[in-house]
Structure 1
Amino acid sequence: MELKAGRPGLVDELTGPETRSLHRQPIRVSGGIRDRRNDWPRRYASRLFYTDVAVIALTFAVYSVVALDEISEPVSWPGGFVLPYWGLLVFVAVFWLLGLDVIDTRDRHIVGHGITEYRRLVNATLAVFALLVAIAFFARMDVARSLFIVALPVGLILLVTSRWLWRQWLRRHQRQGKYVYRAIVLGEPAKVAHIIGQIQRTPDSGYIIVGALTPSQDHQSLAGVPVVGGLTSASAAVESLSADTMIVSSADALDPKAMRRIGWEMADRDVDWVVAPALTDVAGPRIHARPVAGLPLVHVEFPVLEGYKRFAKRTFDIIGATLLIAVFSPIMLVTAIAIRVDGPGPIFYQQTRIGRRGREFGMRKFRSMIANADDQLASLLDVQGTTDQPLFKVTDDPRITRVGRFLRKHSIDEIPQLFNVFLGEMSLVGPRPQRAAEVALYDDDAHRRLLVKPGMSGLWQVSGRSKLSWDDAIRLDLYYVENWSFTQDIQILFRTIRAVIAPGESAH
């Protein structure tokens, strides 16, 4: 068995004679290969632990200052001993840390990615304090209410913020090629290329694809990654490329027996074994694995967009829009004056857009273009050559006014859409509403973005804004529709704030 490449000489570049024979020898794991290759998740989790300890200590230090009068008295209960209040705080802090550990908030498979980490933080914190309330009630303990009114929200906010800051640190290093998994993808060429493309599209995914293994040697590379051998070369490829992860897709030549044998080889080398199903753009909470008759069946839940979830989203929109209208009132007044001074034309601009289920509504914006700018759109798109794409964006648009350029860069022109949100025509988060002419160019897949209300901000707005192609924009919109959750909305809103404050080059 020899590691073969898609072109002559590639094996010699990757391996030496000793390396090529490694897969024929039993691998003895002393101390674990993972200690040398991908030990960073354990070190990262340990940093999270020490940060959690510091955050909880800071929380109770702040609480002790704020509620000094209330905690001056000891805690007592009928038939029990008298406990100093600082002793109760120490107990709650330790219990809180245990709760974070029991619910696996530092699990190496979820930290640094997605919303599961944040969700577990919230669930663990609420569970700990709910249990404390129950204990205090049944034991008739005289516990200050401020412990739950102050310490709970302050601690939760600080915990989430600290995890977010660590995530930004991790993202920055992953873009530099540090703190990543070195992965090899195994499977049919088309499926391997798709997996590589999806991962490469997200530079801070935590994975670097270093090689590909396919049943045929018809390709020298796939999506810019070298094909280093066939399906039987997995062990040698792992050693030669210093990989620590094997991502397996399906292949006709890979029967269950062969896959099990490769899995054993990866286990001997302590290499992570990751199976990539044909499903794409499915969020983790929708996926549930359940073994049936020895088969690891994956159950995928369909998105639920009705019922109490829709009611909760609408309630959040009304409250959020009302508060934001009050906060942004001074900015709206200054903006209206600036538009009036800049030149002739109305202050506000209203355009018919397509909302949920194809309903039309008038979307409100501050005018950022010259008067009658819509009359020039068709000719500008024709010159640009994008009349057949359902994303009517003009590069270096000459119709934008001097004030309008600033308004657009910082998304100030979108603020009047808060009234659309309040009236129920839009949501704070969702796919951006488009014109009827754009919707007319939709294919069947794109029509699914009309299953939810359009939003002021959305997933593609915080993932590249105007730099994204239509294919990337629709992929992100469909991901949002298929995987909607309240937590994801909150996450997008926080990313929106960052994108507005520091818009970058992609905003125009």
Structure 2
Amino acid sequence: MVIGDLVCALVASAAASMLRVGELPRAFAVVVVMTPVTWTMAVRLLQGYQGRHLGQGAQEYRSVLWAGAVLLGAAGFTSYALTLELARGYVFLVVPCVVVLSLLLRKGLRLWLSSARAHGRYRQRTVVVGTVKSAGELIRELRRSPSNSFEIVGACIAGAKHLPVVEGVPVAGRPRDVTLAVDFSDAALVAISGHPGLTGKELRQLAWDLEERHVDLVISPGIFEVAGPRLSIRAEAGVSLLHLERPVRSGSRLMVKRVQDLALAVMLSLVLLPMLLLVALAVRLDSKGPVLFHQKRIGQSGQEFSIYKFRTMVVDADARLSALASLGHEVNSVLFKSQHDPRITRVGRWLRRFSLDEVPQLLNVLRGEMSLVGPRPGLASEVDHYEPDAMRRLRVRPGMTGLWQVSGRATLDWEQTVRLDLWYVDNWSSTLDLLILIRTVRAVLGGRGAF
């Protein structure tokens, strides 16, 4: 990765040099040479090369962005301290360029590494320690992501006398047998889940034993639906405690989200206006009925509002719904989606494929009833069937898009949709919104999973 960043910095320097107009200062050669060195040093100081951050989480991306700020600051300080006449045009070209190239490098590495791990390569051989319940839950959660970095080769289970396997993983003994299991399986990492019956003293001794074997130790608190930024280590009276931050649903960050929604909604409305007029004409010519379809949905705090879409079905679609059940269609009392719904019009099927029917919801965003990103807005009949956990979706504004949209769209079942929405409600951030919007463009252009 260091070599890759050096190459990125050199390419950025070369590109900035060619784009730079005017006479270059005498100190230019020094700046060109120092740019790659300063860049890699900044990324290293910001922990951008730590192995546990590569290929997962947001830390490696965050390190690059902060390193860009450090590089700008270093250029300004060097210019002032050494009274060098630096080319400001060069500096303001090279920094964004090297940041973008380094981000693309990490994205490419992440895609390659995810593919390799999904095929069983570049994984750490891991021994899981815990109870039958906690260890089994950790193994199941890890298996949800085929590209995770752990290869579970054994388990040490508390209280298991004659248990041969847990979730298909061979049981190597009890928690006190961890070092033997590590030696036998050639594991590189031990993952402790839940409370396996080890005292603080025994856990410290285990950490020392693993240190001698150059084996890493991680501890899972058993909380699987919480994003990393909400977790931090808090020390009290010499005791390390895991602090779980409350979800942010008020204050300045929420005001920023609203401002972003308004700005983007206005911009998108203006840019997409010609296309919207063409779509409206196509809907009008394709079948009888109004261009827009509006329906009552349940929003934040249980408030009812009218959601707007381009009409994609025949006018009497709701009346035909009960007839579909008798014909064997995939009718669900909570969430109904059918891949071959005969009520969808010809133009409507095309609009749904690329989610163009959703664009009029920009009006809902401008009115403050929806956000660009958020949970899926439910019908009143759906909300009546919500379990208590699903009711948490109503704590934030519903969104035009969300994790459910970029993770499978209409191919997801009800449980998966709720799980993703609840994760968003508890872990929302501006960065997450931006990533979801970017992934939404890719999902919509691909046209997969929509019907």
Q: State whether structure 2 residue 150 is matched by structure 1 residue 211.
A: no
Q: After the TM superposition, which residues 56-455 of structure 1 pair with which residues of structure 2 at under 5 Å, given as runs?
A: 56-69=9-22, 72-74=23-25, 83-136=26-79, 142-215=85-158, 216-217=160-161, 219-251=163-195, 253-378=197-322, 380=324, 387-389=332-334, 391-455=335-399
User: By how many angstroms is 1:188 displaced?
Assistant: 1.0
The Cα RMSD (Å) is 2.5
Q: State whether structure 2 residue 425 is matched by structure 1 residue 481.
A: yes
Q: Which TM-score applies when normalising by structure 2?
A: 0.91
User: By how many angstroms is 1:489 displaced?
Assistant: 1.4
- Give a deviation string over 1:250-280, Cα, whole Å, max 9, x none: 3353333333343333223222211000222
Cα distance in 2 for partners of 1:290, 1:325 equals 46
Cα distance in 1 for partners of 2:77, 2:297 equals 51
- Give a deviation string over 1:455-498, Cα, whole Å, max 9, x none: 12111221222333322222221211211111111111222122
Cα distance in 2 for partners of 1:474, 1:218 equals 38
- Give a deviation string over 1:60-94, Cα, whole Å, max 9, x none: 2221122231xx241xxxxxxxx432322333442
Cα distance in 1 for partners of 2:138, 2:398 equals 30
| Change in CA separation of 1:466 and 1:243 when aligned onto 2, cut-off 3 Å | farther
Check conservation: 2:141, 2:224, Cα contact below 8 A: no
User: By how many angstroms is 1:385 displaced?
Assistant: 7.5
| Change in CA separation of 1:400 and 1:123 when aligned onto 2, cut-off 3 Å | same
- Secondary structure, aligned partner of 1:461: helix
Cα distance in 2 for partners of 1:199, 1:345 equals 49
Q: Which amino acid aligns with 1:281?
A: E
User: By how many angstroms is 1:171 displaced?
Assistant: 1.2
Task: Say which is worse superposed, 429-438 or 242-251, in terms of deviation.
Answer: 242-251
Q: Which amino acid aligns with 2:16?
A: Y
Q: Which amino acid aligns with 1:406?
A: W
Q: Which amino acid aligns with 2:199?
A: D
- Give a deviation string over 1:344-395, Cα, whole Å, max 9, x none: 2222222221222222222222222222212333554686686453x33335
| Change in CA separation of 1:218 and 1:478 when aligned onto 2, cut-off 3 Å | farther
- Give a deviation string over 1:137-160, Cα, whole Å, max 9, x none: 677654444245433333322222
| Change in CA separation of 1:120 and 1:252 when aligned onto 2, cut-off 3 Å | closer
Q: Which amino acid aligns with 1:270?
A: H
Cα distance in 1 for partners of 2:184, 2:450 equals 43
Cα distance in 1 for partners of 2:62, 2:391 equals 30
Check conservation: 1:392, 1:438, Cα contact below 8 A: no
- Secondary structure, aligned partner of 1:248: strand
Stretches of structure 1 lacking an aligned partner (at least 5 in a row): 1-47, 75-82
- Give a deviation string over 1:264-318, Cα, whole Å, max 9, x none: 3322322221100022211111111134444321112112222221121122222
Check conservation: 1:182, 1:245, Cα contact below 8 A: yes
Q: Which amino acid aligns with 2:379?
A: R
| Change in CA separation of 1:149 and 1:322 when aligned onto 2, cut-off 3 Å | farther
User: By how many angstroms is 1:169 displaced?
Assistant: 1.2
| Change in CA separation of 1:324 and 1:294 when aligned onto 2, cut-off 3 Å | same
Q: Which amino acid aligns with 2:403?
A: L
- Give a deviation string over 1:19-40, Cα, whole Å, max 9, x none: xxxxxxxxxxxxxxxxxxxxxx
Cα distance in 2 for partners of 1:360, 1:146 equals 53
Cα distance in 2 for partners of 1:139, 1:374 equals 75
User: By how many angstroms is 1:97 displaced?
Assistant: 2.2
Stretches of structure 2 lacking an aligned partner (at least 5 in a row): none
Say which of 8, 19, 22 aligns to 1:55. 8
- Secondary structure, aligned partner of 2:403: coil
Q: After the TM superposition, which residues 487-498 of structure 1 pair with which residues of structure 2 at under 5 Å, given as runs?
A: 487-498=431-442
Task: Say which is worse superposed, 207-216 or 217-226, in terms of deviation.
Answer: 217-226
Cα distance in 2 for partners of 1:256, 1:103 equals 31
Q: Which amino acid aligns with 2:15?
A: V
Check conservation: 1:110, 1:117, Cα contact below 8 A: yes
- Secondary structure, aligned partner of 2:191: strand
Cα distance in 1 for partners of 2:230, 2:440 equals 25
Cα distance in 2 for partners of 1:209, 1:381 equals 44
Matched pairs, number: 449
| Change in CA separation of 1:268 and 1:88 when aligned onto 2, cut-off 3 Å | closer
Task: Say which is worse superposed, 179-188 or 326-335, in terms of deviation.
Answer: 326-335
- Secondary structure, aligned partner of 2:51: coil
Q: Which TM-score applies when normalising by structure 1?
A: 0.81
Cα distance in 1 for partners of 2:180, 2:110 equals 34
Cα distance in 2 for partners of 1:213, 1:381 equals 49
Check conservation: 1:380, 1:394, Cα contact below 8 A: no
| Change in CA separation of 1:298 and 1:307 when aligned onto 2, cut-off 3 Å | same
The percent of aligned pairs where both chains have the same amino acid is 37
Task: Say which is worse superposed, 260-269 or 274-283, in terms of deviation.
Answer: 260-269
Check conservation: 2:75, 2:91, Cα contact below 8 A: no
- Give a deviation string over 1:220-242, Cα, whole Å, max 9, x none: 43333333432233233334433
User: By how many angstroms is 1:187 displaced?
Assistant: 0.6
Q: Which has the higher contact order (CA 8 A, sep 6+)?
A: 1
